[in-house]
Chains A and B, each alone.
Chain A
Amino acid sequence: MREKLDEHLRARPMELKKMQKDGVKVIGVAPGGYMPEELVHACGAVSTSVGLVRGGEPEPILHSGAYIPRWIDTFCRAQIGYKELNEDPLYEIIDLLVVPITDQNIRAMADCFDFYTDIPVFRYGVPHVKKDYALRYYTDGLYLLKEKLEEVTSSKIDYSKLHSSIEVFNRERELLNEISSLRKEANPPISGKEFIRLNHASFLAEKTFMVEMLERILDELREKSPGTTKGPRILLTGSTIAIGDYKILDILETCGAQVVIEEFTEGMRHYSELVEPGDDIFDALADRYFQRRIGGAYFRPGKERLEYIIKLAKEFRVDGVVWYTLMYRDSWDFEEYYFSDILKKETGLPMLTLRSDYDSSEIALIRTRIETFIETIKRGVNDSKGGKI
């Protein structure tokens, strides 16, 4: 089934290009999970956010130096690098880039797209607090987004279609959740990397096809015979896990660890909350995408996310946490400093902090640190002590 999905993903850029020639608009979405793609789906445009979820490679970072200062988050710099390299067709076919502004790094990325590229950018703000007026602000932003999408696609959002779109997206979320939950078992039938790649596929694949694939994959995984006991169970968390940024996963898995759950604000489709349609569809979207969504480290306070990580660590019975963040993502850097103590106090678990600038020279250093961390867990040195390694 995975081969069939891969084949679809390989063909998808060309398919999108053809559809675009036939008048379909391609909407790019900055990652972060604050853009209800259902709105795009319901107005006939193709929703693709994959154009801005690629990362992990050094070349775009080097290339971005002419456009954006080094001191902006690695992933955000990579996006302008990919666009200016002109090598990825997905970065070339976007008719409108929607950027929910969460922090200054994302804003800097939007500024660069506005100034250096011919892609129109539409921004709307994601408040950093969960208060009534913040929810109202976010909901108003969705109405502005609706107007913009209708203008770009020249078609009105059909409310009955929006309800159907929500059903499809909810189903996709449910399936991702069910697949992910299989990893609560002692011997997970799917690896962390396989799950993340599946999640990443949902940013590009045609939605109905993706749902069908996920249903089949779930069936396959349920029927799969349990494997043998594997190494330490790891929770992987951080700011962004981009498509292609798999080095940490590869190293962890080759060192004998298994990533059984992830928490990333950007780069993964958030699947734990469903849209619950009520009297007002926009209120329902805002409730799911803002109010109930666990916010990133740029939330103030960011405690909700930290508590959620602890909850996941317990639910998935992990042996350690790896905090993987990208360089210069300031909000995560602040939290990282004190989270290891909170984690230790609440769970006794050890935490390893890794940072990346998508530089190939990092790999050997990261490998050594991961090997030590995994070996330490295996020997049970930190079973009682916890804390940062």
Chain B
Amino acid sequence: MDFTELFSLLGYEKDEIKEEGSRIGKALEIMEIDDDDIKFAVDRIKKYYDVELVGVRKILGFWMDAAIELVMAKDEGKKLVYMGGPPEGKTLTALNMLDDVVCTCPEIAYAAPMGCFFDKLTPVLEAGEMAGVPSAFAHCSENIIGVGMYEKELCPKPEVFISSGFYCDQSAKFGEFIDEIYGIPVIQLECVEDANWDEFPAVSERRVKYFGESIRDCLNELESTYRLKLSEDILKQARVTYGKYWYAMGAIWDLMIKADPQPISCTIFPLMVMGGVLPSKRIQKTGIKVLNTLVKEIKKRADEGKGVCRKGAPRTALQVGSLVDPSLDRMFEECGLAMIGNWEFWKAPTEWVKSKYTTFEDKTAEGFLQHGIIHSAPGFIQLMKDACKYWNLDGLILFYPFNCRPMACSAIIAKKIIESEMDIPVLPLEGDFADSRRYSSAALRTRVETFVELLKMNKVA
């Protein structure tokens, strides 16, 4: 199997491909990737991504590496810890700092390359649906992929699964489900979503302390049951490492906000953002360097006036975009929109405040709960308003996963609030981040084209 061209497109150096060759080959075999898939992936990556940019190729490589690391972990003697989405990233970062541990969200680490590069997720989704989590009941597609992966034995069983019950009910119950069906032990990260409507941006101390206790419980259990000790030093270092990636990404958004025309395609953004959500060992080691490379490349293009859409195109932004389907994100650009960035995990400058808490657990809890998307519906909507304001958007596209209870409900309310308070058109599109079967790009295109016409008219007026 010749994967040299593919891995070059994924930012692997020649020496690295040579050195890692047998490991890569074995991993691809486990992932059921054949020559035809590789040829398909090469064409697809060239079609949808700015592969002439080193930064883009390296970001694509993060996800191929994450999938290889996942499927090879047990063979390589690593302890595996899985987390639900959205993961508690600082503990995940800390766990990945331990040499003998791999901590990841398998649903994302596996789905991103299998969807974005090989377009081979459907059999996994179907296996998940057959095994108890049908999409028709609005189960989260990440969980459907997760169950499908266990059913098809595409990933090794972890030592433990850490749920994201602090935000997502489905992640918590998914944890119980895989415990019951596949015998995978679960640690529940727990919080409650009880912020009152007018509470944002304040976060009640009792809520921080409650979530903090749950994180403390989790760390204690990791140490006592699974012999995974995270020292104070590692936790401190993890907080810094985790923050640095997000900070570096801020420089990319700054360039995107200022540039006209849009200098690079938005198709890379979901994978770039997810690098911050899920910092693997490779991302921790090379992430900042890769982002800095991309900053330089974007700047060069912007300075030269090069872009992927016409100058003056209506500006908009996506929440996350698709984690598995670059054709969806590309469709927005093809319709004539300038796609500035992905705002879901972004924080407005006013939200960057120094914590009054002193422990890792409380600081981490506060950091999460301060973020609009986790805080409450008004917090989520404020995040969108901030994005509209700071990113100078002409319109907002709310492409939200229909099966995510908090996001779906907030999206409908958000449209009404943003349109009335900010006089910016909002287009809600029901879809899915990880299951391309749940929307029709062609049907969405008609709606987006109409939206673009509206934005153009507004610009003229």
Which chain A residues have a beta carbon within 8 Å of chain B's beta carbons? 67-69, 71-72, 101, 103-105, 107-108, 111-112, 114-115, 121-129, 131, 133-134, 137, 140-141, 297-298, 300-302, 327-328, 330-331, 333-335, 337-338, 355
Contacts and interface: CB of A to CB of B under 8 A. Distances in A.
Contact of B169 (A122, A330, A355): A330
Contact of B210 (A104, A137, A301): A137
Binding site of B, secondary structure by majority: helix, strand, loop or mixed?
Answer: helix
Contacts, number: 136
Given A122-B196, A125-B193, A300 B175 contact: yes
A175 B387 CA distance: 57
B193 A327 contact: no
29 contacts: A68-B409, A69-B411, A101-B194, A103-B405, A104-B168, A104-B169, A107-B406, A111-B377, A114-B197, A115-B377, A123-B195, A125-B207, A126-B192, A128-B172, A128-B192, A131-B213, A137-B192, A300-B163, A300-B190, A301-B188, A330-B139, A330-B170, A333-B137, A334-B176, A335-B176, A337-B133, A338-B132, A338-B177, A355-B137
Contact of A334 (B174, B192, B403, B416): B174
Interface string B168-186: 1110111111011100000
Contacts of B174: 334
Given A72-B405, A111-B377, A133-B210, A128 B138 contact: no
- Is chain A's interface secondary structure helix, strand, loop, or mixed overall? mixed
A108 to B, nearest CB: 4
B188 A71 contact: no
Given A137-B192, A300-B165, A69 B175 contact: no
B433 to A, nearest CB: 14
Interface in B260-313: none
Interface string B406-423: 101111110010000000
A188 to B, nearest CB: 34
Nearest to A132: B213
Contact of A111 (B132, B190, B409): B409
A351 to B, nearest CB: 15
Given A126-B192, A133-B213, A104 B138 contact: no
Nearest to B408: A69
B173 A331 contact: yes
Contacts of B227: none
B402 interface: yes
Given A131-B217, A300-B175, A125 B192 contact: yes
Interface in B207-242: 207, 209-210, 213-214, 217
Contacts of B196: 121-123
